[in-house]
């Protein structure tokens, strides 16, 4: 395969300019995506329709020519593969049914990749259609983040915005939560292997809910499961680079970079530039433009892009957002950023 700009950056090389892609680059800010999405009966069905998901993956590549395409899927496909009911309600987001018993989920872990094989077909379709200069990224939700949704289930009585329900569950029943995390490590490892076998050249682990954790819980709920997941993925024979995204980890991102054997660390919007520099001294970084600035555009957007270029531009660095692109972001503002960093 072509040695792409993104793959070079993940090896620690300084490239002619930072490779760039955006989290949620396929999505509601694109009129072509909205037209496509209207053809599917529900969101899960859309994710598991290889023809539609491949088209959604390729749409931003045709429009913007990002350096990487990330497969269109969702972090909550894994609970469905483990027997938990998952659905999305318009304007409300994901909903999950009651948590299955641990033994029944454990029995399904090795088959998680096969159960989600439509995602593999999507990757294969995209790889055929994608310019060889562009990198194809697969992904999965990290164990703790997926567990927070699974543990919340239909009960959303306290602090859902901070995932307080799941954290409270851990304080009350740590053995149950740790057993669930181990189940998710195994299932996710098989899911990621399937994606690599289908053509993913990079795999990303999304820990969307690392924020708000005290350092002892960060170690138990985020760091150790990531270490186990990376080790298990390698045991299964996967050799492609891994990007870890402990969103909201703040200064703990530096510890994560030291202790987790991913090839790059994605940083979130709130990460100070100096912390990014310290992480970058350990391994390549990704991030971390504020999606709200992308919405605003203008001089404020140019100024922050320039600040990131000055602080991290010597690399190795992958230019990205610190969180997903918002549905109301003007297309012209995406083009503004790409021009500013020399990608258009």
The binding site for substrate consists of 24-28, 74, 149, 208, 323
> Taking a C-beta distance cutoff of 8 angstroms, is the pair 224, 213 a contact?
no
Rounded Cα distance, 309 and 317, in Å: 9
Sign of CA dihedral 176, 177, 179, 184: positive
The full DSSP string for 279-323 is HHTTS-EEEEE-HHHHHH-HHHHHHHHHHHHHHHTTSSEEEEESS
Q: For 47, list phi and psi in degrees, rounded to 5.
A: -60, -35
172 is a catalytic site residue? no
Residue count of the chain: 344
Rounded Cα distance, 15 and 343, in Å: 12
Residue of 17, 28, 255, 295 marked active site = 28
Q: For 95, list phi and psi in degrees, rounded to 5.
A: -135, 140
What's the CA angle centered on 292, arms 287 and 297, to 5 degrees?
A: 100
Binding positions: 24-28, 74, 149, 208, 323
Residue of 67, 74, 152, 268 marked active site = 74
Residue of 37, 234, 255, 278 marked active site = 37
CA 93 → CA 43, 87, 88, 141, 150, distances in Å?
10, 8, 5, 16, 14
CA dihedral 146, 151, 156, 159 (to 10 degrees): -70
5 is a catalytic site residue? no
28 is a catalytic site residue? yes
The full DSSP string for 58-119 is HHHHHHH--SEEE----TTHHHHHTT--EEEETTTEEEE-PPPPHHHHHTTSTTHHHHTHHH
Residue of 5, 33, 125, 149 marked active site = 149
149 is a catalytic site residue? yes
> Taking a C-beta distance cutoff of 8 angstroms, is the pair 213, 289 a contact?
no
Catalytic residues: 24, 28, 37, 74, 149
């Amino acid at each position: 395969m072509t040695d792409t700009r993104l793959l070079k950056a993940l090896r620690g090389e300084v490239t002619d300019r930072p490779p760039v892609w955006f989290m949620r680059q396929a999505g509601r800010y694109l009129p072509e995506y909205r037209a496509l999405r209207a053809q599917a009966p529900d969101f899960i069905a859309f994710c598991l329709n290889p023809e539609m998901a491949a088209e959604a993956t390729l749409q931003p590549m045709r429009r913007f020519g990002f350096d990487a395409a990330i497969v269109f899927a969702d972090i909550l496909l894994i609970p469905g593969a483990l027997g938990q009911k998952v659905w999305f309600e318009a304007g409300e987001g994901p909903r999950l049914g009651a948590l299955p018993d641990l033994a029944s989920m454990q029995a399904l872990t090795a088959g998680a990749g096969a159960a989600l094989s439509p995602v593999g077909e999507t990757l294969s379709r995209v790889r055929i259609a994608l310019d060889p200069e562009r990198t194809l990224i697969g992904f999965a939700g990290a164990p703790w983040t997926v567990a927070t949704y699974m543990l919340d289930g239909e009960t959303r009585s306290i602090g859902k915005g901070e995932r307080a329900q799941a954290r409270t569950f851990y304080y009350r029943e740590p053995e149950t939560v740790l057993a669930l995390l181990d189940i998710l490590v195994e299932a996710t490892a098989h899911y990621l292997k399937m994606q690599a076998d289908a053509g993913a050249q990079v795999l990303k682990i999304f820990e969307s809910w690392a924020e708000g954790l005290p350092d002892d819980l960060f170690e138990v709920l985020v760091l150790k499961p990531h270490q186990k997941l990376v080790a298990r993925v390698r045991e299964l024979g996967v050799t492609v680079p891994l990007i870890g995204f402990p969103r909201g980890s703040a200064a703990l991102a530096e510890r994560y970079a030291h202790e987790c054997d991913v090839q790059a660390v994605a940083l979130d919007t709130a990460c100070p530039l100096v912390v990014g520099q310290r992480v970058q001294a350990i391994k390549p970084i990704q991030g971390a433009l504020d999606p709200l600035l992308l919405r605003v555009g203008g001089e404020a957007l140019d100024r922050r892009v320039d600040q990131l270029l000055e602080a991290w531009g010597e690399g190795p660095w992958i230019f990205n957002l610190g969180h997903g692109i918002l549905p109301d972001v003007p297309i012209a503002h995406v083009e503004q950023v790409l021009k500013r960093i020399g990608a258009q």
